Structure 1
Amino acid sequence: MANASDLRRVAMSLEGTTEAPHFDRAAFKVKRIYATLAADGLTANLNLAPDEQEFKVMMAPQAFAPIQNAWGRKGWTTMTLAAVDEAELRAALEMAWQHALPKR
Protein backbone atom coordinates (compact mmCIF):
# COMPACT_ATOMS: atom_id res chain seq x y z
CA MET A 1 0.00 0.00 0.00
CA ALA A 2 1.60 3.24 -1.17
CA ASN A 3 1.11 6.73 0.24
CA ALA A 4 1.94 10.33 -0.63
CA SER A 5 5.43 10.10 0.88
CA ASP A 6 6.18 7.06 -1.28
CA LEU A 7 4.99 8.87 -4.39
CA ARG A 8 7.09 11.93 -3.62
CA ARG A 9 10.21 9.84 -2.88
CA VAL A 10 9.88 7.72 -6.04
CA ALA A 11 9.05 10.66 -8.29
CA MET A 12 11.98 12.70 -7.01
CA SER A 13 14.31 9.74 -7.67
CA LEU A 14 13.53 9.93 -11.40
CA GLU A 15 16.20 11.88 -13.24
CA GLY A 16 15.48 15.56 -13.81
CA THR A 17 12.27 15.64 -11.77
CA THR A 18 11.32 18.79 -9.91
CA GLU A 19 8.32 19.43 -7.67
CA ALA A 20 6.24 22.59 -7.76
CA PRO A 21 2.75 23.70 -6.75
CA HIS A 22 0.07 23.27 -9.42
CA PHE A 23 -3.26 24.74 -8.29
CA ASP A 24 -4.20 22.72 -5.18
CA ARG A 25 -1.85 19.85 -6.09
CA ALA A 26 1.88 19.12 -6.10
CA ALA A 27 3.20 18.65 -9.65
CA PHE A 28 6.16 16.52 -10.66
CA LYS A 29 7.77 17.41 -13.96
CA VAL A 30 10.82 17.16 -16.15
CA LYS A 31 10.13 19.18 -19.28
CA ARG A 32 6.36 18.72 -18.79
CA ILE A 33 4.22 17.65 -15.85
CA TYR A 34 3.90 13.89 -15.67
CA ALA A 35 2.19 13.47 -12.30
CA THR A 36 0.26 15.50 -9.76
CA LEU A 37 -0.47 14.58 -6.15
CA ALA A 38 -3.84 15.53 -4.67
CA ALA A 39 -3.82 17.86 -1.68
CA ASP A 40 -5.26 15.08 0.51
CA GLY A 41 -2.44 12.73 -0.55
CA LEU A 42 -4.81 9.91 -1.47
CA THR A 43 -4.59 9.99 -5.26
CA ALA A 44 -2.26 11.05 -8.03
CA ASN A 45 -2.95 11.91 -11.65
CA LEU A 46 -0.52 10.47 -14.19
CA ASN A 47 0.08 11.37 -17.82
CA LEU A 48 -0.14 8.02 -19.62
CA ALA A 49 -0.66 7.26 -23.28
CA PRO A 50 -4.27 6.22 -24.01
CA ASP A 51 -3.24 2.59 -24.65
CA GLU A 52 -1.22 2.52 -21.40
CA GLN A 53 -4.22 3.95 -19.55
CA GLU A 54 -6.52 1.32 -21.05
CA PHE A 55 -4.15 -1.46 -19.95
CA LYS A 56 -3.74 -0.13 -16.40
CA VAL A 57 -7.50 0.31 -15.96
CA MET A 58 -8.18 -3.18 -17.33
CA MET A 59 -5.55 -4.86 -15.11
CA ALA A 60 -6.21 -2.92 -11.88
CA PRO A 61 -9.57 -1.08 -11.95
CA GLN A 62 -9.43 -0.64 -8.18
CA ALA A 63 -6.23 1.38 -8.59
CA PHE A 64 -6.54 3.21 -11.93
CA ALA A 65 -9.32 5.19 -13.60
CA PRO A 66 -9.40 7.68 -16.48
CA ILE A 67 -9.93 11.28 -15.39
CA GLN A 68 -13.54 12.08 -16.32
CA ASN A 69 -12.89 14.91 -18.78
CA ALA A 70 -11.01 15.70 -21.99
CA TRP A 71 -7.68 15.22 -20.20
CA GLY A 72 -8.74 11.66 -19.37
CA ARG A 73 -9.43 10.93 -23.03
CA LYS A 74 -5.84 11.99 -23.71
CA GLY A 75 -4.53 9.43 -21.20
CA TRP A 76 -4.50 11.30 -17.89
CA THR A 77 -5.26 8.68 -15.27
CA THR A 78 -6.09 8.80 -11.57
CA MET A 79 -4.17 6.35 -9.39
CA THR A 80 -5.46 5.52 -5.91
CA LEU A 81 -2.29 5.25 -3.86
CA ALA A 82 -3.63 2.85 -1.21
CA ALA A 83 -4.52 0.38 -3.99
CA VAL A 84 -0.95 0.00 -5.33
CA ASP A 85 2.24 -1.38 -3.85
CA GLU A 86 5.57 0.35 -4.27
CA ALA A 87 6.55 -1.69 -7.33
CA GLU A 88 3.34 -0.72 -9.15
CA LEU A 89 3.74 2.89 -8.02
CA ARG A 90 7.27 3.00 -9.42
CA ALA A 91 6.24 1.32 -12.70
CA ALA A 92 3.36 3.77 -13.24
CA LEU A 93 5.48 6.82 -12.39
CA GLU A 94 8.30 5.68 -14.67
CA MET A 95 5.79 5.18 -17.49
CA ALA A 96 4.43 8.72 -17.02
CA TRP A 97 7.94 10.17 -16.56
CA GLN A 98 8.98 8.79 -19.98
CA HIS A 99 6.32 11.00 -21.61
CA ALA A 100 7.70 14.13 -19.92
CA LEU A 101 11.31 13.76 -21.05
CA PRO A 102 12.60 16.22 -23.66
CA LYS A 103 12.43 14.91 -27.20
CA ARG A 104 15.86 13.94 -28.50
Structure 2
Amino acid sequence: MRPEEFRRIALDLPEAEEKAHFGKPDFRVRNRIFATLPPGGRVVFKLTPEEQTVVTEAEPGIFRPVKGGWGRQGWTEADLAAADETTMRSACRMAWRNAAPPGLRKAAGYP
Protein backbone atom coordinates (compact mmCIF):
# COMPACT_ATOMS: atom_id res chain seq x y z
CA MET A 1 0.00 0.00 0.00
CA ARG A 2 1.19 3.50 -0.82
CA PRO A 3 0.86 6.50 1.53
CA GLU A 4 -1.70 8.08 -0.83
CA GLU A 5 -3.91 5.00 -0.51
CA PHE A 6 -3.68 5.12 3.27
CA ARG A 7 -4.50 8.82 3.22
CA ARG A 8 -7.73 8.05 1.32
CA ILE A 9 -8.70 5.35 3.84
CA ALA A 10 -8.09 7.64 6.82
CA LEU A 11 -9.95 10.58 5.32
CA ASP A 12 -12.96 8.37 4.48
CA LEU A 13 -13.75 8.13 8.19
CA PRO A 14 -16.37 10.50 9.66
CA GLU A 15 -15.03 14.00 10.39
CA ALA A 16 -11.45 12.90 9.72
CA GLU A 17 -9.05 15.60 8.65
CA GLU A 18 -5.38 15.79 7.83
CA LYS A 19 -3.09 18.13 9.73
CA ALA A 20 0.55 17.94 10.79
CA HIS A 21 2.30 16.83 13.97
CA PHE A 22 5.97 17.81 14.26
CA GLY A 23 6.06 18.26 10.50
CA LYS A 24 4.57 14.84 9.73
CA PRO A 25 1.08 14.30 8.33
CA ASP A 26 -1.43 13.17 10.91
CA PHE A 27 -5.08 12.28 10.84
CA ARG A 28 -7.50 13.60 13.41
CA VAL A 29 -11.09 13.46 14.45
CA ARG A 30 -12.25 16.57 16.30
CA ASN A 31 -8.60 17.53 16.73
CA ARG A 32 -7.58 14.22 18.36
CA ILE A 33 -4.89 12.27 16.52
CA PHE A 34 -5.72 8.71 15.55
CA ALA A 35 -2.88 8.06 13.07
CA THR A 36 0.34 9.61 11.80
CA LEU A 37 2.20 9.08 8.55
CA PRO A 38 5.92 9.42 9.26
CA PRO A 39 8.46 8.97 6.46
CA GLY A 40 9.78 5.54 5.61
CA GLY A 41 6.62 3.76 4.48
CA ARG A 42 5.06 3.48 7.91
CA VAL A 43 1.86 4.53 9.58
CA VAL A 44 1.40 4.84 13.35
CA PHE A 45 -1.98 4.10 14.94
CA LYS A 46 -3.49 5.04 18.30
CA LEU A 47 -4.61 1.62 19.54
CA THR A 48 -5.32 0.37 23.01
CA PRO A 49 -2.71 -1.98 24.50
CA GLU A 50 -5.19 -4.83 24.05
CA GLU A 51 -5.80 -3.98 20.38
CA GLN A 52 -2.05 -3.69 19.89
CA THR A 53 -1.58 -7.22 21.23
CA VAL A 54 -4.25 -8.57 18.89
CA VAL A 55 -2.85 -6.98 15.72
CA THR A 56 0.82 -7.66 16.48
CA GLU A 57 0.09 -11.33 17.20
CA ALA A 58 -2.20 -11.73 14.17
CA GLU A 59 0.06 -9.88 11.69
CA PRO A 60 3.64 -9.72 13.06
CA GLY A 61 4.99 -8.95 9.60
CA ILE A 62 2.93 -5.75 9.47
CA PHE A 63 2.43 -4.43 13.02
CA ARG A 64 4.81 -3.76 15.90
CA PRO A 65 4.64 -1.57 19.00
CA VAL A 66 6.27 1.84 18.77
CA LYS A 67 9.47 1.76 20.85
CA GLY A 68 9.40 3.11 24.38
CA GLY A 69 6.59 4.52 26.45
CA TRP A 70 4.34 5.41 23.54
CA GLY A 71 4.33 1.77 22.48
CA ARG A 72 3.40 0.64 25.98
CA GLN A 73 0.38 2.97 25.72
CA GLY A 74 -0.77 1.19 22.54
CA TRP A 75 0.77 3.31 19.77
CA THR A 76 1.48 0.81 17.01
CA GLU A 77 3.36 1.16 13.75
CA ALA A 78 2.54 -0.68 10.56
CA ASP A 79 4.57 -1.35 7.45
CA LEU A 80 2.52 0.03 4.55
CA ALA A 81 4.31 -2.06 1.91
CA ALA A 82 3.38 -5.27 3.72
CA ALA A 83 -0.27 -4.35 4.32
CA ASP A 84 -3.37 -4.70 2.21
CA GLU A 85 -6.34 -2.34 2.13
CA THR A 86 -8.57 -4.50 4.33
CA THR A 87 -5.95 -4.69 7.09
CA MET A 88 -5.23 -0.96 6.99
CA ARG A 89 -8.92 -0.07 6.90
CA SER A 90 -9.56 -2.22 9.98
CA ALA A 91 -6.63 -0.78 11.96
CA CYS A 92 -7.59 2.74 10.94
CA ARG A 93 -11.18 2.23 12.16
CA MET A 94 -9.91 0.94 15.51
CA ALA A 95 -7.66 3.97 15.90
CA TRP A 96 -10.42 6.36 14.83
CA ARG A 97 -12.78 4.86 17.45
CA ASN A 98 -10.12 5.39 20.11
CA ALA A 99 -9.93 9.10 19.31
CA ALA A 100 -13.54 9.94 18.39
CA PRO A 101 -15.99 11.09 21.07
CA PRO A 102 -18.71 8.57 22.04
CA GLY A 103 -21.55 10.51 20.40
CA LEU A 104 -19.78 10.63 17.06
CA ARG A 105 -18.85 6.93 17.26
CA LYS A 106 -22.49 6.06 17.87
CA ALA A 107 -23.80 8.36 15.13
CA ALA A 108 -21.27 6.91 12.68
CA GLY A 109 -22.14 3.32 13.56
CA TYR A 110 -18.75 2.60 15.17
CA PRO A 111 -19.71 2.02 18.86
Structure 1 segments (4+ residues) deviating >4 Å: none
CA apart distance, 1:103: 3.4
In the other structure, the counterpart of 1:57 is 56
In the other structure, the counterpart of 1:3 is 2
Residue 101 of structure 2: SS of its match in structure 1? coil
* Inter-partner Cα distance in structure 1 for 2:100 and 2:3: 23
In the other structure, the counterpart of 1:37 is 37
In the other structure, the counterpart of 1:21 is 20
Residue 72 of structure 1: SS of its match in structure 2? helix
In the other structure, the counterpart of 1:95 is 94
* Inter-partner Cα distance in structure 1 for 2:86 and 2:96: 15
Percent same amino acid among aligned pairs?
A: 38
CA apart distance, 1:95: 0.6
* Inter-partner Cα distance in structure 2 for 1:36 and 1:18: 12
TM-score, length-scaled by structure 1? 0.93
* Inter-partner Cα distance in structure 1 for 2:79 and 2:9: 15
Residue 102 of structure 2: SS of its match in structure 1? coil
**1:38-90 deviation digits (Å, cap 9, x = unpaired):** 134x0010000101000111111110000011110000000100111001010
Structure 1, unpaired ranges of 5+: none
Residue 25 of structure 2: SS of its match in structure 1? strand
Determine which structure has greater relative contact order: mean sequence separation of CA pairs < 8 Å that are 6+ residues apart, divided by chain length: 1
Residue 38 of structure 1: SS of its match in structure 2? coil
Partner AA of 1:97 in structure 2: W
Residue 88 of structure 2: SS of its match in structure 1? helix
The answer to whether the 8 Å contact 1:62/1:83 transfers is: yes
